Amino acid sequence: MVIVGCAATCCRRVVAFSSILTKRPMSVRTARRSYKVAARTTADKIASNIGSQLRSKTIDLSGLRAAKDIFEEAQIGAELKKLTSKGHDRGHAVYIFAQRFASVLGEQLCKMKEMRQLVKIVGEAEDKYQPAGPPLSPLTISYFTMWSLFDVLFGQSHETIGTCILRIGPLIAMPSWLLDVISLMQHSAMGIYVHCGIEGNLVRLRALGSQETRLCLVPSGYVGQSGELWFIRMLPPANALFDYHIVFNTPYILVGVTERMFASYLDREVGRIGARKLPEKMEAAAYIMKYGPTPNHWNEYIFCAYTGYQHEAVFLTGIPDIKESLPHA
């Protein structure tokens, strides 16, 4: 799946998930005894499965060593230096690093039976939309990877790959800073933002329906102009060292669509949800923007609304529930 295609070279030697350790791995004896989970949610079942393997007397020591090597090769300082030497901003590089690890861990999770529903959803979407970015597909890899990791719900407890990683992270001794960054990514969503001007190398954006603006770095290099509507995933500063947000995907620019038009559309979707009980007691509008009314809702919108591209941005037009407004509906 695409989630692996975005992983760095240091992450390609994928090993048995139950063997993943950090630079200071717990001993096999400690691993066997340290974790027992009451399997309640889907994430709990996955954690329980991994805990059982860690407690097993048949742990593959060669797997432990291989996993340890992966983490030692990719310590955050060295990896950030490598990414910044290639021109990546440091605030962006922290997220790239975390996404690459989430991709590798996610691929391992996808081998478990509890993940079959997610594998089916993502696999079918990959076949249909061929996410590679224009001109091959309007769905970019940066967009599709984040969707597959953090926005695809599965199981009765409404998990994502991201929530499962957060659940088993302490068990496999993932560094706390890495869990924190992955948590920020899990709580992010695609959203509609209004362009409010440029300040230096940063763009000031305002969320649909909000008066608060945020300064954002746009790694693709697109700066745009005031008044534009952007469809993007905005990530907050990863830590106190940074005071700007990150536009993580190549921006989708909505052409011929006003703020009022999109707000009216969201009102209609909220009305269609009605009294339906939503995961995590989310507000209906927030749920729609993150998960959509159906799993492929936003994939389909991007696909049908595509109208052109340039190297730094992709252009869309139309409203999701008005078919005649969509060029490829």
Query: Which is nearest to 231 in space by CA: 201, 272, 262, 209?
Result: 262
Q: Strand, helix or coil at 139?
A: coil
Which residues are CB-contacts of 185 (< 8 A; sequence separation ≥ 6)? 95, 98, 99, 102, 146, 149, 150, 162, 235
Tokens 């749920």 locate to 287
What are residue 306's DSSP bridge partners? 316
Percent of the chain at pLDDT exceeding 70:
79
Cα separation, 210 vs 218, in Å, equals 20
The one-character DSSP state at 26 is P
Query: Over the stretch 250-309, which tens digit does the pLDDT of each residue have?
Result: 999 999 999 999 999 999 999 999 888 898 889 999 999 999 999 999 999 999 999 999
Tokens 């959509």 locate to 292
Give the H or E element holding residue 268. helix 259-273
- Given a cut of 50, whether residue 142 has pLDDT beyond it is yes
Cα separation, 69 vs 74, in Å, equals 9
Query: Which is nearest to 52 in space by CA: 71, 72, 33, 69?
Result: 33
Give the H or E element holding residue 93. helix 90-109
- Given a cut of 70, whether residue 144 has pLDDT beyond it is yes
pLDDT of residue 175: 84
- Given a cut of 50, whether residue 236 has pLDDT beyond it is yes
Query: Over the stretch 24-65, which tens digit does the pLDDT of each residue have?
Result: 333 333 333 333 444 478 777 777 776 666 566 444 444 334
| Under 8 Å between Cβ of 219 and 89 | yes
